[in-house]
Amino acid sequence: MPIYGGIEAGGTKFSCIIGSDPDHILKESTIRTTTPEETLPRVIEFFARTTETITAIGIGSFGPIDLNRASRSFGYITNTPKPGWRNTDFVGTIGRALKISIVFDTDTNVAALGEVKWGNAQAVDHVLYMTIGTGIGGGFIIKGKPLHGLLHPEMGHMRIPHNWKQDPFAGICPFHGDCLEGLASGPAIYERWGIPGESLPATHQAWALETQYIATGLVNLLCALSPQRIILSGGVMNRVELFNTIRVKMKELSNQYFDHKQLLDNIEEYVVPPKLGKRAGVLGTLALAKDAFDS
């Protein structure tokens, strides 16, 4: 069985893994995200130390990233607001040091792939995976392939109606103010109420607002992408009661227009958490490498 490596690159930590699938993991480690000069050598060291022959490494990275193979900055983290990481040659640095093939994609596309391969989206052709946490991001898989394009999806940055009457908060996105991420990410909840989401009681008005914004974003993505399953993950979704309030609000916002029984009658199976939980991303890196190199 071929062995793959994986790197899930996040804003607070890099998760590194070596293995074949969720039942055959040989080695794992977590490295704190500081600067590229410090973090990337530690990642390289993790893989350099292994005695296994690794076929390829899959990387799922925070973004924005450059996925265009014809571009001079292919494999880079590009204009991220994260201090120190702007214009970092992620793929080049890892690939040159380890002399190994790298497959590169966004963190959310990779987590979506993990769920398609081993989780709650197996045998589903069109899968939307959203993470609602420190940021809001989305990945979309069509028949096993992540959607790219001019850049890659940046679903958290769509504009939605801002409920100004109940919510005079301006939003926290440094680029767009009150885009979906600016209104509904974990930091937006904290800034708006002065209390982190996990400390707000279930009865707090924060959750009705959160439900409205997330459900609106999802119905917009339903309009654009027509996914067959929607997987919601991320820190904010640890409030598991949000799953049901979001489902109810989505039906209300659709208002019978999207005439499909999965949406109207079986929405509990349509909008679901990841089966792999917090492991979707790191296991997805193995799926990414495997899909590219298994023949």
Tokens of 277: 């939980």
**160 contacts its own copies (rule: CB under 8 A):** yes
Among positions 155, 184, 188, 286, the unique one binding its own copies when judged by CB under 8 A: 155
Q: Closest distance between its own copies and the C-beta of residue 203, in Å?
A: 27
**142 contacts its own copies (rule: CB under 8 A):** yes
- Residues that bind its own copies (rule: CB under 8 A) add up to a total of 47
Cis ω before 64 (30° cut-off from 0): yes
**Other C-beta atoms lying within 10 Å of the C-beta of residue 203:** 8
The site map against its own copies for 31-70 (x = CB under 8 A) is ---------------------------------x------
**253 contacts its own copies (rule: CB under 8 A):** yes
Beta strands in 117-258 (DSSP E): 126-132, 136-142, 145-146, 229-233
SS (H, E, C) 35-73: CHHHHHHHHHHHHHCCCCCEEEEEEEECCCECCCCCCCC
Q: Closest distance between its own copies and the C-beta of residue 27, in Å?
A: 34
Let me know: does 242 contact 276? Beta carbons within 8 Å. no
- Which amino acid is residue 176, in one-letter code? H
Q: C-alpha 135: how far from its chain's center?
A: 9
The site map against its own copies for 194-223 (x = CB under 8 A) is ----------------------x--xxxxx
Span near its own copies by CB under 8 A; candidates 6-14, 200-208, 248-256, 273-281: 248-256
Residue numbers at the binding site for its own copies (CB under 8 A) = 64, 78-79, 125-126, 138, 140, 142, 147-162, 175-176, 178, 216, 219-228, 253, 255-260, 262-263
